[in-house]
Structure 1
Amino acid sequence: MTDFTFHTAETASDASKPLIAAAKSAYGFIPNLLAGMAEAPALLEGYMTLAGIFNKTELNETERQIIMMTNNRLNGCTYCMAAHTTISQGAKVAEDVIAALRNNTAISDPKLEALRQFSIAVNESRGWVKQHDLDAFLAAGYTQQTVLEVILGTSLKVMSNYTNHITQTPVDSAFKANAWSADESEAA
């Protein structure tokens, strides 16, 4: 496999340097995902911008993490599952929700479970969701706006999950305590 470069503030291109600096300021370190994306400044900028936009949706932190972690699991992204588990814990997402997302089990809250199921439907159908999936999601109390925000979150995860697969991004030490593998999820 090709060895991809994970950039530092010193090795990043001029176009990536301010983005890397912003990431270091926000997180206290440069996450390996962003260090890898720095090879393509447009990807790094696109990902960071889209992440900021996703945070402006009507979805709360738990709902956003449900969308992202569901996609991470379905896409088999070990890096993002570890990172988003840590992020979810820091954001006080309920432990039972985090466990359900990591283990592919139902969330006890019916509305949140409807969001998880709809996120699965969007990912697995590549957006060609069945009418009954859409109807169930709307019946759970979500809106047409939320339908489209699920697509936004799914798009964000395509960028990061696919980057991690290709670059074989190593999990940062800040996330290692929450390491995850698809094998563990299937065993649960």
Structure 2
Amino acid sequence: MTDFQIHTVRTAPAQAQQALAVLDDAFGFVPNGAGLMANSPTLLNTFLSAFGHFRGAGTFTPAERQVLLLSNAVANTCAWAVAFHSLEALADGVEPATVQALRNGDLPADPRMAALSTLTTTLIARRGHLDDTQTAAFLAAGFTRSQLLEVVTGVAISTMTNHTANLAHPPLEAPVQPHAWTEAHVSDV
């Protein structure tokens, strides 16, 4: 359990209340990861701004975004984020078999989604150092060079939430509980 307060719209510092209200409107609840980030309004507002650009102006489909974010959560072994993005991935139309594969640390059967997941986890594991073969595989799957940089945005966003949740170990919200996950689910760990 966490030593940090998980804020609601009412308990958050004034500079974080609007951001939490936006998330509450979007999800019908304040995600605990965001409630934790509200302890630092700078972190929460930076996250929400970056995520807004990633979601609103980004070129990935909702399903591709969730594959990227779920891949990051598994790579960062963030139980809260894996559960949260499993829920969101299914809501955004990701096939249940793809969600399960990602949760297991495996690649999806769909070659495009597999390329996106591979690039995402490779960026994390290699700290941004890709070789030409890895970049070529991503581009061969139909993605663009611009989207390669957009993956960096997704990794940065995930780092904010994954590291916050890994530091604080928030409980799962009721809608997220059916998607509980532990590192033991990953076949290669």
**Fold shared, TM-score > 0.5 on shorter chain:** yes
Measured in 1, the distance between the counterparts of 2:23 and 2:61 equals 22
Q: Give the conservation status (yes or no) of the 8 Å contact 2:2–2:169.
A: no
Spell out, residue by residue over 1:52-80, the C-alpha distance to the aligned partner (whole angstroms, 9 max, x if none): 11112111112111111111001000001
Show the counterpart of 1:21.
Answer: 21
The 5 A counterparts of 1:1-188 are 3-55=3-55, 56-186=57-187
Spell out, residue by residue over 1:15-40, the C-alpha distance to the aligned partner (whole angstroms, 9 max, x if none): 11212222222221111111111111
Task: Mark the runs of 5 or more structure 2 residues left unpaired by the alignment.
Answer: none
Aligned residues between the structures: 188
DSSP 3-state at the match of 1:36: helix
Q: 1:106, CA displacement in angstroms?
A: 2.4
DSSP 3-state at the match of 2:15: coil
Q: 1:2, CA displacement in angstroms?
A: 6.9
Deviating above 3 A after TM superposition, structure 1's stretches of 4 or more consecutive aligned residues are none
DSSP 3-state at the match of 1:16: helix
Letter in 1 for 2:26: A
Task: Mark the runs of 5 or more structure 1 residues left unpaired by the alignment.
Answer: none
Q: TM-score w.r.t. structure 2 length? A: 0.94
Q: Give the conservation status (yes or no) of the 8 Å contact 2:124–2:155.
A: yes
Measured in 1, the distance between the counterparts of 2:86 and 2:106 equals 15
- Amino-acid identity (%): 30
Q: Give the conservation status (yes or no) of the 8 Å contact 2:5–2:36.
A: yes
Q: TM-score w.r.t. structure 1 length? A: 0.94
